[in-house]
Amino acid sequence: MKIDDLIDELILNNFTNKAILKYIRKIPREIFVKKKFVNFSYDNRPLPIDCNQTISQPLVVADMIDCLNIKKTDLVLEVGTGTGYQAALLSYLCKHVFTIEIFQKLIDQAKRNHAKLKLRNISYLLGNGINGWNKKIQFDSIIISAAVKHFPIKLIKYLKIEGKIIFPKIYSSTTQKLVLLKKLNITDYSTKELFDVKFVPLL
């Protein structure tokens, strides 16, 4: 498949966010996948990367970002950098991306990939994403790119009032669903189940 085929498939799946489609078209997904999978770069499916992780299905990435209603002035926290594809897409849509990855090898790959694209509004942290960023920053949105059994409650303190977190929640060995959380005030938040997904577990 080529990039035009992928865009057509996303539209056929009722994805209509023109800004996200524009930047999906702009970003060369092939630089974020292993060389032996380059021919599948624009298939609408996840692909293996190093450290037994995956680069997520383009439609799922697009839908997750779309649910956050990101603005150009926003600060976004990403948990699970991988090779950096989603962070690259986020970087075109917001003011700054802060991304956390537990594997040194992957964060190094992401940095090289972002340098190729001359992206300069991304900050990186090697560590456990459920602990949040290493400085007191309030984020407009948080996106978790791996599945959790229980929501990492520590992350809520990094979220602005009215901010949103989207994450895949594990319900059973065979069932995961995307969940969208909105922070209503200092102590309260709402959650909404979206659709079935399949992610690698958060380490």
Q: HSE (CB half, 13 Å, CA atoms) of 10?
A: 28
Angle in degrees, CA 98, 30, 101, rounded to 5: 25
Closest CA to 177 of 151, 203, 139, 154: 151
Give SS3 for 132: coil
Distance CA 69, CA 40 (A): 29
Q: HSE (CB half, 13 Å, CA atoms) of 56?
A: 28
Distance CA 102, CA 105 (A): 9
Q: HSE (CB half, 13 Å, CA atoms) of 40?
A: 14
- What the block records as the tokens of 12 is 């056929």
Alpha-carbon distances of 195 from 89, 153, 166, 198, rounded to whole Å: 21, 22, 12, 10
Catalytic residue numbers read: 56
Closest CA to 171 of 136, 192, 142, 197: 197
